[in-house]
Chains A and B, each alone.
Chain A
Amino acid sequence: MLNFCEWLEHTALISTIAGTGWMYATFSVAHYFSLFVLVGTIVFIDLRVLGVAARSQRIATVAEQLFPWTWTALGLALFSGFVMFATDAGDYYPDRIFRIKMTVILLALVFAILVRRNISKWDQAPSTSAGAKMVALVSLLLWVGAILAGVEIAAISGLG
């Protein structure tokens, strides 16, 4: 796997992106911007399930309005994130904090899918169950954790 990362990092395309200021900056802007939209929309849905946001709107209405933007932003964040990873893959791959970040994101995505799948059930319930609120809270905390792991890659490992 490390060999693959080293190969990826030194492909002509990735080397060009890494070595061209405006290209790397474009992927950084895309990554930050899409992650803000991704985290902002999903956290808002979590807050609605928790009963502390948009109480006048039904859970399903809020979720159906916001989720398509969440998935689009997720796609863009994963793509731009992969390119940023590729420019220094040999160093990111073995990094402990980077691996923690990927694990947290994977868990957050599992919870995002869990929220999405249960929306209509939660929407029809007369009151939101403690279990539903727990899922939403964990989802919210996992995204905050993903951001923390992201900033720690720079702070502890000095990458990025």
Chain B
Amino acid sequence: MHDFLVSFGKWLEATPWGTFTRTTLWGYPFVQLTHFSGLSLWLGTNIAVDLRLLGVGRKRETAMQLSDSLFAWNWAGFAIAVLGGFPLFSANATTYLANPAFQLKLGILVPLALIWHIVVQRKTREWGKTETTPSIAKLAGLFEFVLWICVVTAAVEIPNH
């Protein structure tokens, strides 16, 4: 498994997009821009629904209405984040794969937060019909909120390891 990951990482670094991101002056910041812009849309819309489930903020829409109206751009944001994140990772793949903060982020936290997000998004159609949400919905929203903070924390820690 380890050997496979190392050779996979080496292959990624040699791909045109990996090389482009690593070696050109504008490549790296451009790819970072894509990653962060996508994340803004993705996390901004995720956190909005989590807060609405928690009952924090204005109650102009129900959680269900809010979640439905954000849905398309929520996933567009995710796609843009991946579009930027993949070449970012490819540029220095072997280094990232050996980094414990990155391993924690992409190996555990992101899959967990992503699965949780999908569950919460589906459940919101049921929990979010009324102005006040049930306790279980508040707990689920809070948990997703905390999970994404953990993801950002792991990401911030990558350069320190």
Contacts and interface: CB of A to CB of B under 8 A. Distances in A.
B69 A33 contact: no
A137 interface: no
Interface stretch (A4-12, A60-68, A105-113, A124-132): A60-68
Interface string B4-36: 000000000000000000000000110011001
A139 interface: no
B33 A151 contact: yes
B40 A36 contact: yes
Contact of B149 (A33, A61, A64): A33
A147 B153 contact: no
Interface in A5-61: 21, 25, 28-29, 32-33, 35-41, 43-44, 47, 53-54, 56-57, 61
Contacts of A122: none
Interface residues of B, number: 36
B37 A41 contact: no
A54 B70 contact: yes
The binding surface of chain A is classed by DSSP as: helix
Contacts of A54: 69-70
Interface string B67-86: 00110110001000000000
Interface in B114-160: 148-149, 152-153, 155-157, 160
B69 to A, nearest CB: 4
A42 B55 CA distance: 20
Interface in B81-96: none
A138 interface: no
A39 to B, nearest CB: 4
Contact of A43 (B44, B57, B72, B156): B44
Interface of B: 28-29, 32-33, 36-37, 39-45, 47-48, 51-52, 57-58, 60-61, 65-66, 69-70, 72-73, 77, 148-149, 152-153, 155-157, 160
Given A40-B40, A65-B58, 14 more contacts: A36-B42, A36-B43, A37-B44, A37-B47, A39-B37, A41-B44, A44-B73, A47-B73, A54-B70, A64-B60, A65-B61, A144-B37, A147-B36, A150-B36
